Amino acid sequence: MGACAAALLAGLTGTAHAVDNLPPNQPLVEDLQSGGKPCATGDDTVYVPTPPRLSAVLYDPEEDNQPSESSPLSGEFEAWWKDADGTEQRRSYTTITLTSGQRQYWTMPSDLPANTVISWHVRANDGQATSTWSDEGDGSVCSFVYDDTSPERPTISSPEYPTPDEVFWVDGVGVWGHFTVDSPSDDVVSYVYSFLGGPNGTVTADQLGGAVTIPYLPLSAGPKYLTVRAIDRAGRSSTTTRYEFNVQSGRAPVARWKLDDPAGSRTAAAETGTPARAGSGVTFGGSAPSGTTAGTAAALDGSGHGFLTPDAPAADLRKTFAVSAWVRPAETDRTMTVASQDADGRPGFTLGLRPQDSGPVWSFVIGGAGVSGGAPETGEWAHLLGMYDAETGKAHLYVNGHEAGEAVAATPAEAAGAFQIGRARGPVGYRDRWHGDVSDVQVHDRVVVPDEVTELARRKPSLLGHWSLSSVTDGASPEQSGGSPLQLGEGASIHRASQDSCIPEIDPDCTYVPPPLVGDGHLALDGDSGYATASGPVVDTGDSFTLGAVVRLADSEPTHPMTVLSQSGEHTDAFKVRYDPSAHSWQLVMPERDEAGAPEKVVSQVTAADGGEGQGHRLTVVYDDGTDTVKLYLDGYTNAAATATLPDGWHSTGALQIGRGKVADGWGEYLHGDVDEVQAYAGALRDQDIVGLGAETNPCLC
């Protein structure tokens, strides 16, 4: 009667408690770890380098939990093993009490025996009941071995790159090497390696204690070394082995036809390899791409007689090879072949161009796989390099020194027929004949590494004009090499360093004049009508060019955009470099077309909070026609926002302007400030040259 009343009273007061306490859940094997490694046993037993910290996530049944209540649990760990005489040893540990769902830990004692299989399990305790052990029923015991011995340091050998004691200098840049790494220890699972300058990484052995082979492609010549550490299954590391070797420069081409033979020749001399006979549709003595080592070029008329061939193969296509050439197509609306090598009724590879719906592209095809990219333009020189890398099994295409498209896997067939320039083998005769100019065809039997590709495709810029703006004669400031001077307009003057300069803070009656930007003087512009100009277009805006200047604004907060450099077309500026105070940035601005009133577009810009007080800013604009990109540099550096794609450059005909640009009603955007060291180049300067632009010297020695 009393018990019933008590139960009724409890119900009326609104309190409720579980009538029976349920035991905690059995710990799950997937929630158990030995030293941070998943629970395993048998052949998968975990190896650890130190006495590990065991852990488990423990849970109490949800039925035991009421709102705003927690379920406190502790973990009871137990480990056991057999000592040297076969006697079983056991250790146990009870953790502190934590909330259900938290991970519980036990750090094993430091006196554990090494190289012994130690097993363990765990159960949860809520203070009233315990769970079943984690290895009962469908559970599993966890096992580990404490390994206290590091592996022996590895050995290294290489057939391609022996040590200097064996061969002092060996091939070479662009030639793959293979380094076999092994360790006397039979429990090694991987090796951590690092080559001088890269690459570095970890390679896993196929089997416990097995050796590995690490491929390596030298990208530069000189002394090299490889360091390797062996890692065993417990994660212990060996000491480091260092392997030294010396890499030679890359091998010269196995075949090269510069195609600079005299007009009227019927054979193209070979710098290396076999001379190539020329069909009657080949004309020697044409102009070669400027800024290269090529002397002249050969013109192929696209007919059945427009070809050159050594009547022999130039490369083993089943091995690594590369073929390159300077080319200038006379048309781009059909498939044309620059170079190929005969196979049975088809070409083993082709390098050339092909039309697409979106426009023509450069193409390299081998073994039925092709890679394409770039944009061929009629009458424009381009450097092509197609390469098959037998080590990786991939084909690559480079256009003007930059990789085009994505490398593709290829399986070349044997093509032991003759090498061809200007045509490709078909089922019946030859086809896809080249119409245009070709110069400096090279074939390599190795990888041509990126730096070499860049150098092969480099067109050395030529200095068009350098105006130091330190003197003026009859209203003109001379060009350093005697070229066209800059004519100074009204509101423009040459300011030179003066002994009479003063400091307003000391002499309130004087007006401070800043010192020359570079050297002994600079061009000072009044912002109202001041400008300077060079007669005629200084740079060809339809081809690669570089134009730079040093500038300092006179106003800390200009009220309108001010142009530093511009070159006009018939109706608009082809480009102008200006400071826009509303955006606090230097901008490269170009019109959409050369028409009166054509909209202007900011194609690149670099943010700068000031206009260059003190020493000013060095501004450079670089247009690379080979990659169809234009970049704006500030103080020698650029960024993604300052780079734009310009596939259709147009040839401007107007004069180079310093300090003004075209606006809707004539000239405007006059610069109030100082300009110095104006330099112009035909060709795109490299980043390392631009860093030095703005001094009194030619940074690239063009």
Instruction: Give pLDDT tens digits for 107-122.
Output: 999 999 999 999 999 9
Comparing 410 with 699, the larger pLDDT belongs to 410
Comparing 573 with 513, the larger pLDDT belongs to 573
Give the sheet arrangement for strand 600-607, strand by strand.
476-477, 486-488, 532-534, 656-658, 562-568, 573-580, 585-591, 600-607
Look up residue 469 and give its amino acid. Answer: L
Summarize pLDDT for 442-501 with one digit per residue, the tens.
999 999 999 999 999 999 999 999 999 999 999 999 998 888 999 999 999 998 876 455
Closest listed residue to residue 453, CA positions, set 466, 462, 465, 444: 444
645 pLDDT higher than 80: no
Q: Say how far apart CA 313 and CA 416 lie, in whole Å.
A: 6
216 forms beta bridges with 177
Q: Cβ(339)–Cβ(365) under 8 Å?
A: no
655 pLDDT higher than 60: yes
Identify the H or E element spanning 680: strand 672-682
Decide: helix, strand or coil at residue 74.
Answer: strand
What is the rounded end-to-end Cα distance, in angstroms, of the chain?
112
Task: For residue 535, give both structure tokens.
Answer: 């007669």
Query: Residue 496's pLDDT is what?
Result: 85
pTM, two decimals, is 0.83
Average the pLDDT over 607-613 and give the result.
65
Comparing 670 with 609, the larger pLDDT belongs to 670
pLDDT band at 156 (very low <50, low <70, confident <90, very high): very high
**Cβ within 8 Å of residue 59, ≥6 positions away:** 24, 25, 73, 100, 101, 124
Q: Cβ(196)–Cβ(228) under 8 Å?
A: no
By DSSP bridging, strand 222-232 and strand 241-247 are antiparallel
Q: Cβ(242)–Cβ(226) under 8 Å?
A: yes
Q: Say how far apart CA 666 and CA 643 lie, in whole Å.
A: 29
Q: Cβ(389)–Cβ(396) under 8 Å?
A: yes
Identify the H or E element spanning 656: strand 656-658
User: Quick one: 454 exposed, middle or buried, by C-beta within 10 A (0-12, 13-18, 19+)?
Assistant: middle
**Cβ within 8 Å of residue 439, ≥6 positions away:** 258, 259, 260, 288, 289, 292, 294, 296, 297, 298, 325, 326, 327
Q: Cβ(162)–Cβ(226) under 8 Å?
A: no
* Phi, psi for residue 2 in degrees, rounded to 5: -65, -40
Closest listed residue to residue 337, CA positions, set 311, 369, 376, 289: 376
Residue with tokens 């300069």: 501
Average the pLDDT over 62-74 and give the result.
67
Q: Say how far apart CA 404 and CA 562 lie, in whole Å.
A: 38
Query: Residue 501's pLDDT is what?
Result: 57
Closest listed residue to residue 517, CA positions, set 439, 616, 593: 616
For the chain, give the mean pLDDT. 90
Query: Residue 16's pLDDT is what?
Result: 40
Q: Say how far apart CA 325 and CA 276 lie, in whole Å.
A: 15
Q: What's CA 186's distance to the chain center, in Å?
A: 40
Q: Say how far apart CA 3 and CA 212 lie, in whole Å.
A: 77
Task: For residue 504, give both structure tokens.
Answer: 């307003």
Give the CA distances from residue 7 to residues 1, 4, 14, 15, 18, in Å, rounded to whole numbers and listed in that order. Answer: 10, 5, 11, 10, 13
Query: Residue 10's pLDDT is what?
Result: 39
Q: Say how far apart CA 331 and CA 299 lie, in whole Å.
A: 13
Q: Say how far apart CA 351 and CA 344 lie, in whole Å.
A: 18
Average the pLDDT over 331-340 and give the result.
97
103-107's contacts with Cβ under 8 Å and 24+ in sequence apart are 103/31, 103/55, 103/56, 103/57, 104/55, 104/56, 104/57, 104/58, 104/73, 104/74, 104/75, 105/53, 105/54, 105/55, 106/53, 106/54, 106/55, 106/75, 106/77, 107/51, 107/52, 107/53, 107/54
Query: Residue 512's pLDDT is what?
Result: 63
**Cβ within 8 Å of residue 125, ≥6 positions away:** 24, 73, 74, 75, 76, 94, 131
Q: Say how far apart CA 553 and CA 616 lie, in whole Å.
A: 8
- Alpha helices (runs of H) in 108-175, residue ranges in sequence order: none
Summarize pLDDT for 409-418 with one digit per residue, the tens.
999 988 889 9
Closest listed residue to residue 625, CA positions, set 648, 642, 641, 594: 648
Comparing 546 with 70, the larger pLDDT belongs to 546
